[in-house]
Structure 1
Amino acid sequence: MRIRRLTMPAIRLKTPRAVIKAALILVAIVMPPAHAANATLIVPPFLPEAELRETYSPMMEFIAKHSGIDLTLQTYPNYLAYWQATLNGYDRALALDPAPIVDFRVQRQGWTVLAQLEDSTSQTLAVHQDNLIVDPAELVNKPLAVMPSPSLSTLVMYQIFPNSLQQPELVFKDSSRDVAEALFANEVEAVVIPTALMDGYPELVTVTRTEPLPSLGFSAAPDLSSDEQSRLREALLALSSTTEGQRLLEESGLKPVVPASNADYQGQAQLLEGTFGY
């Protein structure tokens, strides 16, 4: 009986290049997708926290979608807490600040301006329409509501009343909304609030209005890479250049976002002179 020897068919081994390619495909399938980068969006307490979150959350989602950088909103209970945190510095942050703080971050902490809200901003010294005050001098030694220093309302109040012996009695409130409401609660004779807020209070009348300053500016912390800063800048500007972004700004009650640089805020930090920590 003859025994037939069985032979196995030859197996052709893949080339090293093919093996590497297959391994890379397998790794891509098995490994989870990379997480988006994270950063903090800092907004000062010019409005109550709940109102800030409602206003800026859609913007944060838009920026994350267009930049690949997820943002977490950082708010503060009052301007004192906001200023102390500003002095301490931030890591991986995008900040929306009034002009003096923007320039402070640029000059003292190496931040970079990416964009700004369109137009300028100003503060208004206002009283109730039933209060027949037409001159700031009539408010000396009378209660006046402002947000704590270094809010713009307090900084410009010292310009309106430069003589420290002839100033109103300051009553500090946590937000511009709280400042305005103090007048209707008969806590004060007058208020200093952002001029843009006046439209929401038709019962208020203007005593005087400050000279305009550059509008709120977006700046990036120095530990965000140049690529991340560029992506954030493009996402911010897309808020005004795309239909989706324009609709978002309108629904949130925000001004258009326009290009800006460090030079647009140069010298604004001088308003902080005399402020603790400056």
Structure 2
Amino acid sequence: MSERRQGHWKRLLLGALCAAGLAALPAAADYSFVVEPIYSPQKAAEVYKPLIDYLGKASGEKFTLVTPKNYHFYWRDLRGNEKFDFAFDEAHLADYRIARFQFVPLVRTAERQSYTLVTNADLEGKGLDALVGRKIVCMGAPSLGYALLLGFYPNPIQQPDIESSAASWRDAVEAVFAGEAEAAMIPTWLKDQYPNLSPVKTSVEFAGAAVLAAPSVPEAVRNKVAEALLRLDQDPTLSNLLLELGISKFVPAKAEEYKGTESMLKGFYGYQ
């Protein structure tokens, strides 16, 4: 065989060996990141895209955003422990994941969370009773706002007309401005942006929403994600994301900050 032909076959063999070696390498993990449906799926994809891109760049891992259609599906998947690697949950849902499925809290929003029932000027100063039988717009059950609103009205025969049709908390505010509802239950940080709405009652405060990792996520990956989120506020390209979510930064989270809050879910279908 000529030297030229021998060289040709050697190159072919080397190429085949390299291809086989690359094929044998494990594929990079693709981590799912599920968020509460406080926006429509389309809007959520837009809002959270900078976060997912940032996490991928900062950690070297790949993340896929999961945007449930509404709270009905979110609660169903949560109860069934649908496989998600990371979740961004408010206090009661975070505690449910921690207590039931051993999720690990990584970071939380620096701001504590509360909700305020707000109304139009016509009902200013008239209290909770003035809204009995009237329409209040809220995100669906079992969002934290919905759970807290139920707590404002413990008497089963003196209830407001709760409508959970809002596609976002801002949509709930717009329903009041449009005259489609007399009141809305919204995050307190959002209430502060609408001084022309009258607060009726503000809930107690809870630890801020947490980013949690499933127990199956390697500790090294959990640490990289936590470290990246703790530095997120230092990236000026993410200032709009923080503003949209009503937070200033993330801080370390501990499971005990959420302990017991999952009891708020007891009155909702499927709780066990």
TM-score, length-scaled by structure 2? 0.84
Q: Which runs of 5+ in 2 are unaligned?
A: 1-13
Alignment of 1:1-278 (within 5 A): 27=18, 31=22, 35-173=27-165, 174-240=167-233, 243-244=234-235, 247-252=236-241, 253=243, 254=245, 255=247, 256-278=249-271
> Sequence identity of aligned pairs in percent?
32
Larger Rg: 1 or 2? Answer: 1
What residue number does 2:5 align with? none
CA shift, 1:196, in A, is: 1.8
CA distance in 1, matches of 2:180, 2:219: 49
Aligned residues: 250
CA contact (8 A) 2:34 2:84 kept: no
- Change in Cα spacing, 1:202 to 1:47, as seen in structure 2 (3 Å) is farther
Residues 39-93 of structure 1 show CA distances to partners (whole Å, capped at 9, x for unaligned) of 1111111133333222211111111112222111111222112111111223242
CA contact (8 A) 1:127 1:133 kept: no
CA distance in 2, matches of 1:202, 1:78: 29
CA contact (8 A) 2:104 2:213 kept: yes
TM-score, length-scaled by structure 1? 0.82
Residues 100-158 of structure 1 show CA distances to partners (whole Å, capped at 9, x for unaligned) of 00000000111110111112011110012343353111111111111221111211112
CA distance in 2, matches of 1:202, 1:145: 18
CA contact (8 A) 1:92 1:224 kept: no
Q: Which runs of 5+ in 1 are unaligned?
A: 1-22
CA contact (8 A) 2:141 2:164 kept: no
